[in-house]
A and B are shown apart, each in its own frame.
Chain A
Amino acid sequence: MAEPMKIRATLQGDTVDVRVLMLHPMETGQRRDGKGEIVPLHYIQSVLIAHNGKTVLDAQWSQAVSRNPFLGIRVRGAKAGDRISVNWVDNKGDKRTDEVTVAAAS
């Protein structure tokens, strides 16, 4: 159901710069569609990012996060080949998990 995320994890020294782009409508529950009916709330509520299986970020979101959300974080103590996984769950129970390996500094 949910579209795959785009995740980029690049190494700068021993810190990995993680950038995630999720594809999600993030409906506020205030917008009206063409027929003038309110589009129901539909948004990502929780995002977890793990580094080699260990949680480094646990985010709680409201509908105020923009459509197709972007999220950037930095994690210390990383090296090339480490695994970064991202998981989100929305208010309808839809979810998605994607994983990348950390790329060496270019």
Chain B
Amino acid sequence: MNNVRRSLLKVTGSAIAIAAAGAAGMLRPMRGWAAPWNKAGFESKALADALKSLGAANASESRDIAITAPDIAENGAVVPIAVTSRIPGTQQISIVSEKNPFPLAATFDIAGGGEGYVSTRIKMGQTSDVWAVVKADGRFYTAKKEVKITVGGCG
């Protein structure tokens, strides 16, 4: 057995494996500069853990964040939520529904000419505070608004 040849083969083998993994990464659709999907955050079951996963554990409250949402939503399966941040340098907005089984609903990274505004519709299991977590110039700010739910939308 030629030991040098064996180890050489091993080295080339792993080099090919690494190259293949890199190529596979490149082939993933359009995920250029993006951060990887926040698995820990989306799987956390408590508000505090969700905030921690965003890095927003020590966020301060801000009056410059407006949450547009109904006071009472009859259908918890479709609750319109819009967040407007007037904080300069807003780079990320997250929407968190405190009493959902998994509170973190969505994170929006804003770049280029994107304004500090997102509008979407989420599901809410029960009456709860909805939090908007805004990252601006590397610091975190929050605001919250209670939405009353008549029929929950998780089932």
Which residues of A line the B interface, CB within 8 A? 15, 28, 30-32, 45-46, 48-51, 54-67, 69-78, 87, 89, 95, 97
Which residues of B line the A interface, CB within 8 A? 29-35, 37-38, 42, 77-80, 82, 97, 100-102, 104-115, 117-124, 153-155
Cβ of A57 and Cβ of B77 under 8 Å apart? no
Interface Cβ pair total, 8 Å cutoff: 128
Whether A73 contacts B122 in the complex (CB less than 8 A), given A46-B37, A59-B106, A87-B29, comes out as no
Whether A57 contacts B109 in the complex (CB less than 8 A), given A45-B37, A73-B115, comes out as yes
Separation in Å of the A60 CB from the closest CB of chain B?
5
Cβ of A55 and Cβ of B29 under 8 Å apart? no
Cβ of A64 and Cβ of B109 under 8 Å apart? no
Could you tell me the distance between the alpha carbons of A71 and B154 in the complex, rounded to whole angstroms? 20
Pick the residue among B82, B106, B115, B155 that contacts A30 (CB under 8 A): B155
Pick the residue among B33, B102, B154 that contacts A55 (CB under 8 A): B33
Cβ of B105 and Cβ of A61 under 8 Å apart? yes
Could you tell me the distance between the alpha carbons of A93 and B37 in the complex, rounded to whole angstroms? 13
Residue of B nearest to A95 (CB): B29
Cβ of A89 and Cβ of B29 under 8 Å apart? yes
Whether A71 contacts B123 in the complex (CB less than 8 A), given A62-B105, A62-B106, comes out as no
Q: Which residues on the B side are within 8 Å of A62 (C-beta)?
A: 42, 102, 104-106
